[in-house]
Amino acid sequence: MYVLMDIMVSPSGVGVSISPYVAMCQKIFEEAGLTHSMHGYGTNVEGEWDDVMAAVKRCHEDLHKAGAVRIISHMKLGTRTDRMQTMEDKVSSVHEKMDHEKTAQD
């Protein structure tokens, strides 16, 4: 089953900057061969369910090994059965509608 996920991984007790831990998870998503796109408050990830969940598990395991005693992750997951849709498809659909509305106003 294909899944689109938005995840924010928040390690606690590691100081003010968590960017080294975010970088670790980005590398894990990359090594897993998952399509991913980091944004200001998390990362969009897409791929097969088991592959995505295995990468999330590895993020937690590796961050704990790196000294994060506590990790809280917030995830939003989306699946569908009617058709295949990627993150890029979703964004393109909105841009097309915006372009159509702009053209209609001109």
Determine the topology of domain 2-81 in CATH: Alpha-Beta Plaits (3.30.70)
The domain ranges of the chain are 2-81
Which pTM does this prediction carry? Answer: 0.85
- What residues does 105 pair with on adjacent strands? none
Each of the 106 residues of the chain gets a pLDDT tens digit; together they read 999 999 999 999 888 889 999 999 999 999 999 999 999 999 999 999 999 999 999 999 999 999 999 999 999 999 999 988 888 888 898 998 998 777 777 7
Quote the pLDDT of residue 102. 73
Sign of the Cα pseudo-torsion (100, 104, 105, 106, in order): positive
Quote the pLDDT of residue 13. 85
Task: For residue 38, give the DSSP letter.
Answer: E
Quote the pLDDT of residue 43. 97
